[in-house]
């Protein structure tokens, strides 16, 4: 194959720049999809880390008399499974898998919120600051759920934006 020689101006010989109108231009929605996939990957990793922290908390707070909180175990399991599905959907650009991830991880976060609210002890801990040292695990669980909820909001908005950009454009009638 013959390569073009680079002239002194830095442009390959045979191109004078007048062919710009014939060159392909990447549609902006494809670049938005690429950026959205990168953002979604970071959010999925962050949310998975938050769920793993929640799983460690479930393990540490388990007593031999009561056993693990089943609702918290279901929440952590559902969250991790839905994030794995979301990662597969992100890699393969499958809208249906991204929707399953959005729904499953949202249900997992709602279950986590329900577990914290159901305990009712967190309200007592917040009212009495002198008790914070003794109830540090409850405070950490609340912080875990609040942080997970914030990341979930960003995850949902990113997935909705990604689904919108992945879908073919609507034709004007």
Does residue 136 lie within any of the structural domains? Answer: yes
Two structure tokens written together for 69: 């909180």
Does residue 172 lie within any of the structural domains? Answer: no
- Is the model more confident about 48 or about 63? 48
Does residue 57 lie within any of the structural domains? Answer: yes
Owning domain of residue 160: 29-166
Counted domains in the chain: 1
Does residue 13 lie within any of the structural domains? Answer: no
CA dist 15 → 7, 9, 12, 159 (Å): 10, 11, 6, 42
**Contact (CB, 8 A) for 121 and 140:** no
Does residue 156 lie within any of the structural domains? Answer: yes
Compute the average pLDDT of residues 143-164: 92
Q: What predicted TM-score, i.e. pTM, was given to this entire model?
A: 0.74
- Is the model more confident about 145 or about 88? 88
Does residue 8 lie within any of the structural domains? Answer: no
Does residue 158 lie within any of the structural domains? Answer: yes
pLDDT tens, position by position, 117-133: 877 666 666 676 666 66
Compute the average pLDDT of residues 54-72: 78
Does residue 12 lie within any of the structural domains? Answer: no
């Amino acid at each position: 194959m013959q390569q073009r020689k680079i002239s002194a101006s830095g442009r390959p010989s045979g191109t004078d720049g007048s062919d710009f109108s014939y060159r392909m231009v990447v549609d902006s929605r494809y670049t938005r999809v690429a950026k959205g996939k990168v953002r979604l990957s970071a959010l999925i990793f962050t949310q998975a880390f938050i769920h793993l922290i929640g799983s460690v908390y479930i393990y540490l707070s388990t007593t031999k008399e009561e056993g693990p909180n089943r609702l918290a175990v279901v929440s952590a399991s559902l969250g991790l499974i839905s994030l794995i599905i979301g990662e597969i959907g992100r890699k393969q650009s499958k809208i249906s898998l991204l929707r399953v991830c959005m729904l499953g991880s949202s249900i997992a976060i709602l279950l986590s919120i329900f577990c914290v609210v159901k305990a009712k002890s967190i309200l007592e801990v917040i009212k009495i600051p002198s008790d914070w040292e003794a109830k540090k695990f409850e405070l950490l669980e609340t912080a875990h759920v609040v942080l997970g909820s914030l990341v979930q909001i960003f995850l949902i908005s990113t997935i909705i934006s990604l689904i919108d950009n992945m879908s073919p454009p609507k034709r004007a009638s």
